[in-house]
Amino acid sequence: MILKIVQTGYPVLRQPARELTPDEILSDPVQDLIQSMFDTMRDAPGVGLAAPQIGMPLQLAVIEDRQEFLSKMPPEDLAVRERTEVAPHVIINPRITVEAADTVEFFEGCLSLPGFTAVVPRALAVRVDALNERAEPVTIHARGWYARILQHEIDHLHGTLYIDRMQSRTFATRENFMRFHEARKD
């Protein structure tokens, strides 16, 4: 089922989400929610979706960076972003640790703030300790674009949007981004 993605200004996007218990994770309603979140993320389309973005104040996010997105990008852009395909997975009650103090800056967008983009500095590499959809502990070591996706989604679980971290003078509509920034790459 495709769910409605709430937009910036909706209070749940600015509140810390609550943790889920293992019993809640394994319940039919949460399992159904996870599937609906994947459906919604793919329909949008996006590479991640956090429960607060569909109005649910839960520490739950789904992530997938599909080959179809990567195939639309020049190889040099993929290389500089360290962007590779990411299989679909779930993170619940995540704890994030920066593994590389280096930060990288790229334009970022958000399904809860459609039509806009800005440069956001993010850690190059992170470790995430979380539970999966079976309430099992998982540890993820991520680098490059995958690390960026994780940081973006985990921020949502704490009431933070990319606009809180952006370089404000780079904030632009997607249309102007394509006109003035992407055009310079030629």
Residue with tokens 């937009």: 7
Q: How many CB atoms lie within 10 A of CB 133?
A: 18
Strand partners, 121: 105
* Distance in angstroms (rounded) separating the CA atoms of residues 146 and 144: 6
153 catalytic residue (yes or no): yes
Q: Of these residues, 64, 82, 153, 175, which one is catalytic?
A: 153
Contact 144, 81 (CB under 8 A): yes
Contact at 8 Å (CB) between 134 and 28? no
Which positions are catalytic? 153
